[in-house]
Chains A and B, each alone.
Chain A
Amino acid sequence: MRMPNARLAFVAAVSLALLAACSGGTATSAPTAAPAESAAPAQSAAPAASQAPAESAAPSAAALKVALILPGPASDKGFNQSAYEALAELQSKYGAETAYTESVAPNEFETAYRDYASKGYNVIIGQGFEFGDIAAKVAPDYPDVKFLVTNNPTLAAPNAEGLQPSSQDAAYLAGVVAGMATKSGKVGGIAGQQFPVIVAQMEAYKLGVLSVRPDASVTLTYLGTFDDVAKAKETAQAMISTGIDVIYHIADAAGVGVIQAADAGNILVIGWGKDQSALAPKAVLTSQIVDQKEMIVEAVGSIVDGKFSGQPQFYGLDTPVLGLAPITAVDATEAAKIQAKVDEVKAAILSGATKVPFITEPSK
């Protein structure tokens, strides 16, 4: 009986000491915090007019409050970061108040959605196909909140919609570039997980290669991870050792490993997401642009304009969401030749003359 007592006294003494130390600190910081909070409500007046009259009951609905839920780290230099960067643009373009949360695991999807929805956020964005289920489940409980799920071609509800870049079109163009640039006739593709949208791009890339180089051999590999740089590097090195001289990657953060291996092995590589030529100017042939940031900014813009449809939205090569970065790392005449072919194929896709299929099962 004496022991717990003594321990209790010890713990109490230490916590009291700390409490004393800390309360001194908070007392000085309190006055600076207070004005910052009281300033917040002042900005709510301006965009009131653009809101749909149906929602006029709640005055707080007038202010645009956007929350973003990311499945991975916001600083991944790829998929998550590009969505994260949309928030800054939404702040400057629409005066939106924004919040985000990163590396959210599936068991917290619903917690995150309900937390934001109940705290007055009126646009909640899930970055990635996997948020579709939860958005559909939660949306009916919060009719005044708009739910957007990126890279989801199916989500449709009165207040929820999927946003889908037609990435396979850009991947096909990447394939055309690889097919024209390869000397050995052997090209590779390295992707993260076998998600449907990823598989569709890998298969479109293969079709693009074969459209300009029917005799080419195309090796496609799935790593099972989007962030294991070392594994991606080893896989790329193994490809290089078989004579492959152009590699395309959709491996997000792990793709850095592919680019490193290509740079060291003196072969060409096609980046993904943003223009990745700065990572290895001598190796990066081009990059497939899939601009999550533009897609989110456009989708939120249509909500602000009152054009929310509740149907999946598709973004093609005619939008700033999708495209191909300039051809680099080869000599000027070859670059011009490849670029001309890319422009030709792009025009054919936009006119509907070339139709890139959406294949969700990997070819053997």
Chain B
Amino acid sequence: MTAIAGTVRRGDAIAAAAVRMARATVANGLIVILGLLVSAALLALTGADVAAATRALVEGSVGSPEAIRQSLIQATPILIAGLGVSFALRAGLVNIGADGQLYMGALFAVIVAVYGPPLPWPIAPVAMLVAATVGGFLWGALPGWMRARLGMSEVITTLLLNFVAFWIVSWAVHDPLHDPMGGGYPWTPEVPAPARLPVIRVAGFFLPSGLLLGLVLAMAISFVLHRTHFGFGLRVIGDSPQAARWAGIDVSRLTIAALAISGALAGIAGAAELAGNQYRLSDFFSPGFGFTALVVALVGRATPSGTVAAALFFGALAAGGGSMERIAQVPASTGLVVQGTVIAILVASRSAAARSFSYRLRRRLVRPDVGAA
């Protein structure tokens, strides 16, 4: 791709990129619609009122400024953590530990916000985010170091460190950090008002500032990946670690850095959720944000723009799916069924089998003589 790009004029390259993006958008849109149709068929099989469910899904996700606000709130943690997972994926590293890194980020953030000195508004959320970055960074650097220096698979270590992080947080909210005014309920005191991330009102719409932070981070990551030596090195490692080593790239150092930054982003996601939605850290803080983030990164093909689009979609699906349950009274798991169906179709459409099938189909349609044999 890069070789071709060098030989064509800049205008052509931009046009080609635009066409590619438009195609990807249409293809992904069709996959989503197909997923929704299959889900509707499944719903109809359970005897649910499909029309009412669909109406609730749409109204609950994009039907009103309030619904959009809830979709964006749901999208925020999975967007930022999804960017983290994407970042590691670009270096060929599978970070299954975003949930644990998110918990560690939230833990560091809550310690600063609740137990640190009281800070005024713009400084307090920044301090929280910095603390969360440190927490997530360390929790990501650890498996990075184990991978680079000890040769341990990051798939295993990041997965297992989820449990370590979870139980550290669980202990913290039950014992040293638990809210004395909550009378023993296992959660921390609320993050004080000046440390919270506000919801910004623009032209009648509500924009959670955590989501805006996510969009800024997406642009920053895009810049790092495509406009810096560091990002180039990461992408080379992702394509071929062997080639990277021959090219004189310090693979160990970049591996540690990639997972640490991946963890830092997941940590920021934890702080954004804490300061923007829940305000308290508990041991049921994350309903699996880190795993949804993995899905978001895979669906978004590990690109920042794809991750943004996928996170917004899954956020809307979470809010709309919830509304489907709340208002249309379809079973609780319906949102998950829709999500799973979309993912399954997406993965299937990208599989080698599907590509080969569609290739043969196309050849048969375009040149019947070739396919006929």
Contacts and interface: CB of A to CB of B under 8 A. Distances in A.
Contacts of A115: 60, 67, 70, 322-323, 326-327
A107 interface: yes
A18 to B, nearest CB: 5
Given A10-B354, A101-B325, A196-B183, A30 B74 contact: no
B24 A105 contact: no
B50 A29 contact: yes
B153 interface: no
A9 B362 contact: yes
A112 B182 contact: no
B51 interface: yes
A7 B37 contact: no
Nearest to B181: A154
Interface in B246-277: 273, 277
Interface stretch (A19-27, A231-239, A293-301, A316-324): A19-27
A103 interface: yes
B278 to A, nearest CB: 5
B284 interface: yes
A168 B289 CA distance: 37
Contacts of B278: 106-107
A11 B30 contact: yes
DSSP class of A's interface residues: helix, strand, loop or mixed? helix
A4 B51 contact: no
B51 A29 contact: yes
B362 A6 contact: yes
Interface in A127-170: 129-130, 133
Interface stretch (B5-13, B184-192, B225-233, B293-301): B184-192
B287 A105 contact: yes
Contact of A116 (B51, B77, B185, B326): B326
A108 interface: yes
Interface stretch (B38-46, B79-87, B209-217): B38-46
A340 to B, nearest CB: 35
A107 B50 contact: no
A18 B357 CA distance: 18
Contact of B322 (A112, A119, A362): A112
A12 to B, nearest CB: 6
Contact of A194 (B30, B37, B174): B174
Interface in B204-246: none
B301 to A, nearest CB: 12
Give the size range of B's interface with the partner. Answer: 35 or more
Interface string A18-46: 11001001100110010000000000000
Most B CB contacts (10 A, CB to CB) among A6, A19, A99, A133 go to: A6
Contacts of A103: 332
Contacts of A19: 33, 37
Interface string A177-198: 0000000000000000111100
A11 B183 contact: no
A108 B74 CA distance: 8
A130 B41 CA distance: 37
B279 to A, nearest CB: 7
Nearest to B326: A101
B187 to A, nearest CB: 8
B145 to A, nearest CB: 31
A114 interface: yes
B124 to A, nearest CB: 19
B182 A196 contact: yes
B349 interface: yes
A103 to B, nearest CB: 5
B345 to A, nearest CB: 8
A115 B327 CA distance: 8
A8 interface: yes
A15 B34 contact: yes
A114 B64 CA distance: 12
Given A8-B30, A11-B349, A112 B326 contact: yes
* Smallest CB-CB A-B distances: 10 pairs: A196-B183, A10-B358, A105-B287, A6-B362, A360-B183, A6-B358, A15-B34, A101-B326, A111-B70, A196-B184
23 contacts: A4-B23, A4-B27, A8-B26, A10-B362, A11-B34, A15-B33, A15-B34, A25-B44, A33-B51, A67-B326, A73-B332, A106-B284, A107-B273, A107-B277, A107-B286, A108-B287, A111-B319, A115-B67, A194-B186, A195-B185, A195-B186, A361-B184, A362-B184
